[in-house]
Structure 1
Amino acid sequence: ATVKNSKEDMTLPTVHPGPVTVDYKGQGLFGPETSLGMPTCLLCVCIGGSVYCEDIGLEQIPPLPKGTTHFYGRFNKIRHVKNTDFINKLQSIDLTGNQISEMDEDTFRFLPKIQELILAGNNLQVMPELPVTMKHIDLRNNRLSSWGVHSEGFKDMSQLESLYLSDNKLDYIPTPLPLSLRVLHLQNNNIQSLHEDTFCNHHDHNFIRYNLEDIRLDANPLNINLFPQAYVCLPRLPVGSH
């Protein structure tokens, strides 16, 4: 008996596949395309709703996928943040260690879910306008002066727990401060005096600010012993020069 080579008898159909495309600008696997011609989630790392674009030399914020809730753009070369850079699902933004000196005034105003903003180690002279949903604000190591902090900018932030403003050029403590505040760091500024209503209410001697337990005023030209009435409502004295 003879056995024929099966390869000689095998006929395979010819397949002509159509073009395969990925919608980078929609909710595609790799997110929208950046100005560098590369999808954001190939240039950066996307895990769930978090986008990590850290220390890769970015000069602007890349387009974010529609489901982004947390954006980390630390240690890049970003100078200007625009009001079109972010999407309204964002809850947390970290731009530590960039070169940011300019921001559109309403950059964060229309982010209804934002709770955490970290802009430490930049060149900001003016604090951006922030929504009342904030819980954590970190503006350390900038160039903020008191004229650059919006009057009563923190007043309506009823959920604010931590405010870091150390290593700036502030002349006084921004007031009023929300009762929810737990941490206030103001060391290494130019604060020289305190008002008796900075933390307390001199009209109400029964008023106690229970939550504010961590106040740093050291490395300011301020002798905290000279302002005892400013602390009578606090559970703990500020750290500062005596």
Structure 2
Amino acid sequence: MPLECIGSFRHSTQQLCRSCLLLFLLVSIPYSFLLENFDDDELPLATSQTLGGTAAQNVPGCPDNCTCPTEETVDCGGLDLHIFPNNISAAIQHLSLQNNQLQELPYKELSRLTGLRTLNLHNNHITSEGLPDEAFESLQLLQYIYLANNKLSVAPQLLPSTLRIVDLAANHLTCVYPLTFGHKPGLRSVYMHNNQLNNTGLPFDAFNGSDAVSTLILSSNLLTYVPQNLPRAIVRLHLQNNHISRIPKGALNSQWRLRELYLQNNNLSNNGLDTSTFSRLKSLEYLDLSNNNLSQVPAGLPPNIAILHLGRNHLSALPPERLSRVRSLQYLLLQSNALTASGVHPEAFSRLRSLHTLHMYNNRLESIPPGLPRRVRSLMLLHNQIACIGLEDFAATYALVELNLSYNRLYSAHIHRLAFRKLRRLETLDISANQLTYLPAGLPSSLQVLHLQKNQLNSLSPEPLVNLTMLKELHLAHNRLRISSISPGTWQELHGLKLLDLSYNELSYIPPDLPESLEYLYLQHNRIAVIVAEAFLTTPNIHVITLRSNHLLAANVSEAAFADLNLLEVVDTTGNPEPINISLLQAGR
């Protein structure tokens, strides 16, 4: 028990923990967020029976303005109560007083509710001084207590041994006592996020005798190291948004059931870990170490991790041995580090046969990293310094479905004409925000979405698009395209195209012979000055046309252009030199 919290259980909590009260502002979180963190069987019973439903007929004896659908349930939530109701039946089992103005719980009124199983006091103004030590002594059937979003400075010293869920999130907690959570064999979930707990305020024996705890949420506190002597049955452990710089040796050795471990937004470095830190977590499936100070991938990662988040660290290299143990890895997130292509060992991913999502964006890659996972389906390489794509760069990644190369330094001449030849399953390709002057050759016929916006494209020809019969979206905004630079027949093979974005170019009129399948056409911010009668002759299925901020005058817009567009829903002509008569554009209606 921490020295700051030693004292008689009958002393006031203000006297007990005055020295451990820290003057930090509470970051309040909405109750809807808290509810999202509960399992289906962990919702406050009184709340789950009233939220989103219609008011039921009250049973006799219901307190004024409250809702009592049964003799066992009383809901007095959201009534702006300042005083605990004094006429609640002693027979109730579920009491909801959330979203009120309560500052204290009177022992006399609470102690007679001996059958109470659920007590929801979320979002009030209850202080530790207003919560007597003996407040819960007579509630020996209580299973669910929700005290989140109040003003408690220390945790209740004595809670019933029957509890299954305790929610103390979003208070000002600095101290926890041995019998707050200890010696409760049925306790399953503890929520203490958004408080001011440091390691001194969390005693070593805080969970002794509570071996069934499976969910422990300690995020957004002031912890500087991972607490020791945690319950052996933990499945979900949330420690993100603390000041953790180390994990003591053996701190996680007994948590063999742990599946989710959140450690993001801390101060962890490799010096604060050792080779056995994670090695015994045989059930671990999700490990989030993002936004820390790691310079290397941690050693000894267990093999069953499916999602590994190492983004926003200081990784500069990927050696072969660090990831090879994690045979079940499916998602590997390495964004916002200092990785270079030369720092990625060719064997770094070789044993990751289940890996299908790899994020390496916002690094320092100067070329496509070697040895990419063979079964990767989603590859994010945007915001790097990649200047070329060679013949063999994607030769082994035959399963790729999504490839993002945007915001790099690619030139058309530096993309090999056969670079994409093996990507026969590729559906989405993003090469936007590079230095391309013409479309890459050899694009896969499987493509459905192609992003080429924010380049230097100054011409379009049929050859690169000839086999793209499955293409549904083509994004060409923010380029240098003119009507004269679009060769005849450019669109003729795009039989499935539904969206064409040619905005922010240099077009002087509507491109001719657009695909019949087209439904969305974006032409804003061009130089279009005239719309002839035949402008949309080949696009009878069009739904949306945007023409804002062009050079259109009403006299140069043909009524006949829109006459047969029976599916047309939106025509945006704002921002032209003069208003276009919208009724003119409804001629086909």
Residue 276 (structure 2) pairs with residue 84 (structure 1):
yes
Pairing partner for 1:193 from 380, 388, 406: 388
Name which of 57, 71, 84 aligns with 2:243.
Answer: 57
Counterpart in the other structure of 1:174: 369
TM-score using structure 2 length: 0.32
Contact 2:225 2:247 in 1 (8 A): no
SS at the partner of 2:342? helix
2:300 aligns to what?
A: 107
1:13-70 CA distances to partner (integer Å, 9 max, x unpaired)?
A: xxxxxxx996979995679xx986954659xxx9951111011111123622232122
The residue that corresponds to 1:15 in the other structure is none
Deviations 1:93-134 (A, max 9, x none): 101111222455x332xx121222101111111226203332
Aligned to 1:157: 352
The aligned runs of 1:93-132 (5 Å cut-off) are: 93-103=287-297, 106-108=299-301, 111-127=302-318, 129-130=322-323, 131=325, 132=327
Look up the match of 2:265.
75
Q: Is the 8 A contact 2:310 2:334 kept in 1?
A: yes
Partners of 1:26 and 1:173 lie apart in 2 by 53
Q: Quick check: which has more Rg, 1 or 2?
A: 2
Given residue 92 of structure 1, which amino acid in structure 2 is its aligned partner? Y
Q: Deviations over 1:198-234 (max 9, x none)?
A: 1136xxxxxx92x312111112111256323111232
Taking structure 1 as the reference length, the TM-score comes to: 0.72
Q: Which moved more, 1:90-99 or 1:227-236?
A: 227-236
Matched residues, percent identical?
Answer: 24
Unmatched runs of 5 consecutive residues or more in structure 2: 1-181, 184-204, 215-222, 437-589
Q: CA deviation at 1:73?
A: 0.4
Between Structure 1 and Structure 2, how many residues are aligned?
208
Structure 1 counterpart of 2:410, from 191, 215, 222: 222
Separation in 2 of the partners of 1:172 and 1:237? 20
Q: Judging by fraction of residues, say which structure has more helix.
A: 2
CA separation in 1, counterparts of 2:393 and 2:276?
Answer: 36
Q: Secondary structure at the match of 1:147?
A: helix
Change (3 A) 1:145 1:29: same
Correspondence 1:212 to 2:396 = no
Deviation at 1:189, TM superposition (A): 1.4
How far the C-alpha of 1:85 sits from its partner, in A, is 1.2
- What's the counterpart of residue 422 of structure 2? 233
Q: How far apart are the structure 2 equivalents of 1:214 and 1:120?
A: 20
Specify every segment of 5 or more residues in structure 1 that has no aligned partner in the other structure, as ranges: 1-19, 202-207
Contact 1:154 1:175 in 2 (8 A): no
Change (3 A) 1:26 1:150: farther
1:170 offset after TM fit, Å? 1.4
1:16 corresponds to: none
- The 3 A distance-change label for structure 1 pair 28 and 187 is same
Contact 1:51 1:68 in 2 (8 A): yes
Q: Secondary structure at the match of 1:230?
A: coil
Once residues 141 and 53 of structure 1 are traced to their aligned partners in structure 2, the CA distance between those partners, rounded to angstroms, is 21
How many angstroms does 1:177 deviate by?
2.8
- Give the counterpart letter for 1:69 in structure 2: R
